[in-house]
A = this chain, B = another copy of it.
Amino acid sequence: METAPATAAADERPSRRSRRDDRALTCAILDATIAEVDRVGYANLNVERIAELASASKASLYRRWPGKFELVLDAIYHVFPDPSTLADTGGLRSDLLATLRSAADQLAGPAGHAIRGIVADVLRDPRRAAQFRAHTRGNSRQAMRQIVARAGARGELDPESITSRQLEAGLSLIRFHFLTNAGPIPDEVLVEIIDEIILPLFTGR
């Protein structure tokens, strides 16, 4: 997906397109996708309009993504912050707050709009479920693992005692709240999930 194939469509001028250009085009398409999902909703999304907005050919979109579902899924994780860039706040609780607030902020914006559309699609077509899950679980696990590793290094908890299911419980509860409630996630919900669920599970109180 990151290097243009030698047989790229003529309208892409492969001879002039460097690896850098190709990444920039992918970014432009994903940015346009998120903007369009936010404007018209997932159900009404039109791939031709996205190509137009990103000044890309339809062929260049379909070469990268087989369809709307895969394109929007990539677009969501394109705008979500990279877990490896999470701020180190110096404490377990403050790291959790920063991470969950950042996730809630993302869900309150265009990415959240796109996620509601994707999940509605998953519910109508269960074959989509595996694709969706592969994306979400990988990302949340990585973010929580990093927080736990840091807290372990500071002696706040024992990373070995925390199971995968415990690691993911907090983010799953936030996502469930998001899917079954309208509007942004209130900050007190994040604080309750941290203080009443995640911290007891991670530290044994």
Contact = CB atoms under 8 A, between A and B. Distances in A.
A94 interface: no
Interface in A107-155: 116-117, 119-120, 122-124, 126-127, 129-130, 132-133, 136
Contacts of A169: 169, 173, 197
A136 B177 CA distance: 12
Given A123-B179, A183-B126, A197 B165 contact: yes
Mostly, the A contact residues are helix
A66 interface: no
Contacts of A20: none
A27 interface: no
Nearest to A162: B196
A180 interface: yes
Contacts of A122: 179-180
A193 interface: yes
A15 B167 CA distance: 61
21 contacts: A41-B124, A43-B124, A119-B123, A119-B179, A119-B180, A120-B120, A123-B123, A123-B179, A126-B182, A129-B181, A129-B182, A132-B180, A165-B193, A165-B197, A172-B177, A173-B173, A176-B176, A179-B179, A196-B201, A200-B200, A200-B201
